[in-house]
Structure 1
C-alpha cells in the first residue's frame, strides 16, 4: 500500500518517512517545494499543499493511508478540513493519523465525522523546540534567562511521535484513539540546561528572571525568540509585544498536568521506551556549540 505523508520535510514528517521506509512501506511525500525536499531515496515526492484541497486528487490517487497535519506553513489551523476529508474519502483512503498543532482546526472534527479510520496524535512539548528557543542564546553566551525555571514538562523526541504515527498507520487497533504523546521523564528548564551542558561539554547556565525582569528583557530589549509565540500569534502587527509577553508569562507560570505527566503512550504503542532528552541532546550537541 502507498502511505501519504504530509508535512514530510517537517520536524515529525521526516522521521515518519524514515520509519515507514525502514518497515518496507511505499511512501509518497507531500511538500510545497519538491526540489528542496532532501528526502531519502525510494520516496515518491509530490508537490502540493493541504490548503489547496482541490489539487489533492492526484496526490491521493492510490493512497490507502495518510498522515495529515492540521496546520499550514504558518502554523495556523487549516480552514478547509471538510474538503480534505472528502478528498481522502473519494480517493479510497481508509486510515489517517492527524498531528495536532497548538490549536484544533477544522480538520479533526471533519475527519472524525467521516468514515475514515482516524487516530489523533497530540504531542506535548517537542524536544526540538529547544533548538528554536535556546540554541542561538547558548551558542552565543552560554546562558538562558527565562522566568519560572522550575516549570515541569515531559518533552517528547520527534522520532517517537513519528513512531507512534507509523504504528497507527500500519497496524490495527488504533482507530478512534487520541494519543497524548509525552517523553519518558519530567524535566525543568534547569534540568535541560544541565543535560545540554553534559552533552556539549560546555559551562551552560540557567538564570531565572522575575516577571518584572522578563518584561524588561523581552519588551524593552526586543522580542523573545519563542516559537510558541509565533505559533499562537504569528506575525500579526495588531498584537503588541507586551500582550505576547503577558501571555507567555501565564503559560510558563501555569501548572500543566497533562503536559507534565508521563503518558506512557510511546512504549504502549511501539513496545519500547521513549527516547530521553539526554539522547536528543547528544544528537544535537553541535547546534549548541559556538
Structure 2
C-alpha cells in the first residue's frame, strides 16, 4: 500500500510547515493547492491542483493516498460532507486541524469533526487555541510604537504555527494516535498587553499599549472587517479571556519531547513582518 500523505492547505501558515517537515523527513508528500505555479514548495513535494470547495477536483489528488492532513478552509461546513466522503473512499486516516471551539455545537469545527467521526476513517483531531500569527493584526501599530486595542488584560497561551505543524507530522508518522483529540497551546499565558511588549522586545522596538474603549474598537473593527457577527464574536472572546484565561496544556511538550516555542521565538521568526 502507498504511504503517500496528502496535505491540504499546503501553502498556508500551518500547512506549509507540515509539507516542508514531511519532505525533510524523506516521506512521500503530496500538496493540494489551487495554483501550483505559485506554491513555492520543496522540490521533492508532489504538487497537485485541487480545491476543497470543489470536491469533484479531489479524486486525482487522493489516488494512492494513505493519510490526509485536513485543514477546512471555510467558516461553515457547507460541502464538508462531500470532501470527507471523498477522503474516506481513498485514505485510511485523517488528521484534522480543528480548534478549541469544536466543543461548541454551532461551530463548523464541531460539524466537520462529527462528519469525520462517522466516516469510518481513523482520525486524530488537533485543537489549537490562539495562534501567535493572529498578532500580525497589530503589525502596523507595532511599527508605529503604540498598539491601541481593547481588553489588554485578556490572557491567552498563543501557539507558534511551527508547533502545530510539528505535532501534525508526529501524529501522521507515528502510531498510537487513533481517536485522540489533542488540545494544543503555547508554553506561557500572556495578556494582550504583555504580548505587545514581548513582540516589541523581540523585534527591537519599544511599544506601548493603549487601552481602546470597546465601543470605539467595535466601530473601527466594523470598518475594517465588515462583518458585525464576526466583530462581536471577537470582542466577546477577548472579554472572556480577561476573567477566564486560555489554558496552557503542555501537550506539545508531551508529544514532541521539547518545550513549545514561545511568543518571543515566534516574533523573532516573523521579525520581517513587523518591519
TM-score by length of structure 1 reads: 0.85
Counterpart among 131, 138, 142 of residue 138 in structure 1: 142
Once the two structures are overlaid, the 10-residue window that deviates more, 181-190 or 81-90, is 81-90
Instruction: Say which of 208, 211, 214 aligns to 2:211.
Output: 208
| TM-superposed deviation, 1:246 | 4.2
2:16 matched residue in structure 1: 14
Moved more, 275-284 or 247-256: 247-256
How many residue pairs were aligned?
266
CA pair 256-203 structure 1, distance change in 2 beyond 3 A: closer
CA RMSD after TM alignment: 2.1
CA distance in 2, matches of 1:40, 1:214: 41
* Cα distance change of structure 1 residues 87 and 246 upon mapping to structure 2, 3 Å threshold: closer
Residue 169 (structure 1) aligned to one of 149, 168, 172: 172
Map 1:70-109 to 2 at 5 A: 70-71=72-73, 75-91=74-90, 93-100=91-98, 103-105=107-109, 106-109=111-114
| Structure 1 residue ranges (4+ consecutive) displaced by more than 6 angstroms after TM superposition | 256-259
Partner of 1:111: 116
Helix, strand or coil at the partner of 1:145? strand
Counterparts of 2:206 and 2:75 in 1: how far apart (Å)? 37
The reply to whether residue 152 of structure 1 matches residue 152 of structure 2 is no
The question of whether the paired residues in 1 share the 8 Å contact of 2:33 and 2:39 is answered with: yes
Pairwise CA distance, 1:258: 8.2
The structural deviation recorded for 1:183 is 0.5
- What is the CA deviation profile of residues 91-141 of structure 1, one whole-angstrom value per residue up to 9, with x for unaligned ones? 2x111101126732543212111221101111111111111x1112222x2
Give the structure-2-normalised TM-score. Answer: 0.89
Task: Write the deviation string for residues 125-175 of structure 1: whole angstroms up to 9, x where unpaired.
Answer: 1111111x1112222x22111111111000000010011111111111111
